[in-house]
Amino acid sequence: MRPCLALVWCLVAIPMPLRAETALIAVASNFLPAAEVLARDYGKESGDSIVLSAGATGTLAARIGAGAPYDAFLSADAETPERLIAKGDAVAQTRRIYATGQLALVRAEGFGATGGALPAIRAARHIALANPALAPYGKAAVECLEFLGVYQEVAERIVMAENVGQAATLVASGAAEIGIVARSAIPQGAPALTLPGECHAPITQVAVLLSHGQANGAARGFLAYLASDGAKATIVAFGYGVTP
């Protein structure tokens, strides 16, 4: 009995790790590559598991409204989380800006002979954009075309994708000569021009805890991790800005 009792006391004395949790996070498609790295790093640090479900911001919001069991939402804008909060689908006190986005023009053949963004847009037979009704980056792309004074000129040549990832794929596959997408969605080394921020409204990406995830420690932990110095360095490395 004495050896058994000693073993019991030893086990009691050893600090036991908290039970790991799993969170299902809805993430705007433009942010998926960065989110995959962040989820991996957070998992190593916390022991929790982060499962990502990507899509256009509007599509994900519709799923949340229909009862999809997401625990948190990394939106590509600020307006969609506000609408979810107003409907009682998200927790107001948890919203935070996690990234600010930039637009870029990507062209599979490069820009050497075009003279810049505007001639390339005018010369393209097909221009890939994310659907502005679903994706904030698509809305910003339309604003840029309007700012440059060419939207009406090229409107019939626009090829709509559901999200920026699909728009970038259309360019990579040759289905479109150019695309206006998130700078973060452009493959490393691909010919691209960053578009001036003044051509569109600021792209402020907001994260929020959803009502379904209020009791989920992993979801809360992951949202808090996004504000850490390590997470911010990752976000910047993927082509985003971060708030102080």
CATH 3.40.190.10 in the chain, residue ranges:
21-100+203-237, 103-194
Q: Which pLDDT tens digit goes with each residue over 75-124?
A: 999 999 999 999 999 999 999 999 999 899 998 777 766 667 888 899 89
Tokens at 98, concatenated: 């996690």
Q: Which pLDDT tens digit goes with each residue over 148-170?
A: 999 999 999 999 998 888 999 99
The class that CATH gives domain 21-100+203-237 is alpha beta
Tokens at 4, concatenated: 């058994």
Q: Which pLDDT tens digit goes with each residue over 133-147?
A: 989 999 999 999 999
- Nearest-angstrom CA–CA distance, 114 and 45: 47
- Nearest-angstrom CA–CA distance, 92 and 186: 32
CATH 2.30.30.110 fits 103-194, yes or no: no
Helix or strand or coil: residue 120?
Answer: helix
Q: Using pLDDT thresholds of 50, 70 and 90, give the confidence band for residue 45.
A: very high
Helix or strand or coil: residue 64?
Answer: helix
Q: Helix/strand/coil (H, E, C) string of 163-226?
A: CHHHHHHHHHHCCCCEEEEEHHHCCCCCCEEECCHHHCCCEEEEEEEEHHHCCCHHHHHHHHHC
Tell me the H-state helices in the chain.
Answer: 2-13, 32-46, 57-65, 79-86, 117-123, 136-147, 151-154, 164-173, 217-225, 229-237
- Nearest-angstrom CA–CA distance, 226 and 240: 13
